[in-house]
Amino acid sequence: MIGDDEDGDVPSSPDAVDPDAIVDGAAADSADSDQERLQGLPRLLRYAMLAKDNVDDAVAHRLVAEIDELCPNLPQNADWAAAQSSETGLALAAKLDRLAVVRDVPALRNLSDCVRLLTLTLPCTPQRFGVYRRVARAMILAFRQIEANLDDERCAELERIVYGFAALPAAIGANDSACSWPAISNAAHLGEQSARHRIRAAVARTAQSVRRQVERQTQAATPKDTTSIEATAADQPESDAVAPNRVIVVRIDQKELKNLKFVEPFKHVINSALPLVETPALDRVRTNLIAEFPYAVDVVDFVLTDLIGRPTVRLRPLLLVGEPGGGKSRFARRLSEQLGVAIWRTDASQSDGNVFAGTERRWNSTEPCHPLLAIARGRIANPIVLIDEIEKAGTRSDNGRLWDCLLGLLEPETSARYPDPALQTPLDLSHVSYVATANTLDPLPSPLLDRFRIIAFPKPTLDDLDALLPGLIDTIAADRGVDGRWIAPLDAHECAAIAAVWRGGSVRRLRRILEAIIQARDRTAARH
């Protein structure tokens, strides 16, 4: 045990760490449901596995307890336990490094790396590149020491986290402004992206090899009958060979297709290889979005980071949370426009599971699921589906809850084989992106929240007024069906009048004020 610090930084009787935190941390490993997955891992990798999905108080309390066992009554540990921030965390890590030297206890240096792991945030600053390098190097060394003794599944999971964390500073960039979302929660995603092309190529090669082998075996076992072969080929959908960046979303036998009268509006997407919109230049997209949403820089960076390294547009499920009027829905629409993909909006308060997930064929109102309708409207395989005010979805289960039907659609594995009740055939919806908005998270069930990346959407302030006005004028002009140049820029008196009544907050209210000024202009011009 380490008690008083020889360098005088630790007083003899400081404030103690909360006993509940010690109990929670000490018992966490034995009580954890995935104890087997963490068994045998070094401390740093164990905390990385625990924190990759969610850095919460429980994970931090484990570390607080471990530190308190070796360094009882350490003030910096108590400070971090009370307020988990970058400042308190890095101060604690620095203290543990000093104690490791003074007391010659290598375990303390390992604990300091764990604190940095949970403390580091994105984007990173140039000053913190050294901290990132230290933690990443420690993770890589720990992984190399144990990888020979692990099964392939755990090796793959750790590989994504370790090398994804090491690549984070380079992927984010050194000039982005600081924000508070944890670095470790995004490491696995970036690590997966780095290996995605190799995995896809390997899978494609394996599938092609198996397909050729099956064809050879079939040809050897079946006598050649040209008549039957031609008849069979006429009834089959298009070949599995699909051009790059194209996907066949739905396959239906031609004979069955003739009997489905309700498919006429979207018949053009059946058995057709639909294009996947390629990811545009993200720097240009970022510049345009920040110009229109200057108060949401962190949101823009959070969203676009998900597209780094992706050849085609596909966002992991995203949930924008903020007060009404902040521009969440408009941001989703402008995001789709900047990315060049179609967007399909669903009002959660007016939709239930049977409507969104598709209606069974036996009903007169038979209709496929909304993601397929979005694909049919946009004529692409990777549109964005916007679910507006998701917290207001109905909670009655008579027709199925919207929240429940979303669970399968938000999972890549199930969405790639989604069983549409109307078409009664699996659909490949794996390339569809889902963006939801909410004013609060309170009513939403935890299984649904676990599938979303959640970020708070801020409200603008008075300082953002000058940046907001041009975009709103263009939007008003577009709604009127005229070119934005037909609306003259606001003069100084009009800007001052707006600033006097709008001090920040709702963009929706700002637009109403702006529309009133433009209408007043029109009335004055008509009289003269």
Average pLDDT of every residue of the chain: 79
**pLDDT band at residue 383 using 50, 70 and 90 as cut-offs:** very high
Dist. CA 324–CA 326, nearest whole Å: 6
Distance CA 179, CA 298 (A): 7
Contact call for residues 310 and 427 (beta carbons, < 8 A):
no
Nearest in space to 74 (alpha carbons), one of 55, 60, 94? 94
Per-residue pLDDT averaged across 79-102, rounded? 89
Instruction: For residue 438, give the H/E element and its range.
Output: strand 433-438
> Higher-confidence residue: 232 or 514?
514
Residue 494: which pLDDT band, with cuts at 50, 70 and 90? Answer: confident
Closest CA to 407 of 396, 415, 416: 415
pLDDT given for residue 8 in this prediction: 39
> Side chain identity at 67, as an amino acid letter?
I
Using the predicted structure, report yes or no on whether residue 457 has a pLDDT greater than 70: yes
Residues sharing a CB contact under 8 Å with residue 78, sequence separation 6 or more, in sequence order:
14, 15, 16, 17
Express each pLDDT in 131-157 by its tens digit: 888 898 898 898 888 888 888 778 888
Q: According to the model, what pLDDT value does residue 225 have?
A: 46
For range 373-397, the mean pLDDT:
90
Cα distances from 449 to residues 139, 321, 391, 436, in angstroms, run 29, 12, 11, 11
Q: Please state, in angstroms and rounded to a whole number, the distance separating the CA atoms of residues 94 and 125.
A: 18
Collapsed DSSP state (helix, strand, coil) of residue 123 = coil
The domain ranges of the chain are 19-195, 282-456, 462-527
Q: How far is CA 61 from CA 2, 51, 99, 121, in A?
A: 19, 12, 21, 19
**Range in 223-227, 307-311, 325-329, 500-504 with the lowest mean pLDDT:** 223-227
Q: How far apart are CA 73 and CA 16, in angstroms?
A: 5
Spell out the residues 6+ positions from residue 155 whose beta carbon is closer than 8 angstroms to its own: 147
Question: Do 433 and 382 meet the contact criterion of CB atoms below 8 Å apart?
Answer: yes
Q: What is the pLDDT of residue 274?
A: 92
CATH of the domain spanning 282-456, picked from 3.30.300.30, 3.40.50.10490, 3.40.50.300, 3.10.620.30: 3.40.50.300
Specify the 3-state DSSP secondary structure of 433.
Answer: strand
CA distances from 63 to 77, 355, 451 (A): 9, 47, 26
pLDDT band at 474 (very low <50, low <70, confident <90, very high): confident
Q: Which amino acid is at 417?
A: R
- Who wins on pLDDT, 260 or 377? 377
Q: Model confidence over 52-71: pLDDT tens digits?
A: 766 567 888 889 999 999 89
SS (H, E, C) 223-258: CCCHHHHHHHHHHCCCCCCCCCCEEECECCCHHHHH
Residue 446 CB-half CA count within 13 A: 1
- Among positive and negative, which fits the CA dihedral 422, 426, 431, 436? positive
- Percentage of the chain lying above the pLDDT 90 cut: 27
Task: Identify whether the C-beta of residue 356 lies closer than 8 Å to the C-beta of residue 318.
Answer: no
Phi, psi of 205 (to 5 degrees): -65, -45
The reply to whether the predicted model has a pTM over 0.85 is no
Q: Which two tokens stand for residue 459?
A: 């409200």
The DSSP 8-state label assigned to residue 17 in this structure reads P
Q: What is the pLDDT of residues 396-442, one digit of tens each?
A: 766 678 888 898 899 888 899 999 888 888 999 999 999 999 999 98
Sort strands 433-438 and 425-427 into parallel, antiparallel or unpaired: unpaired
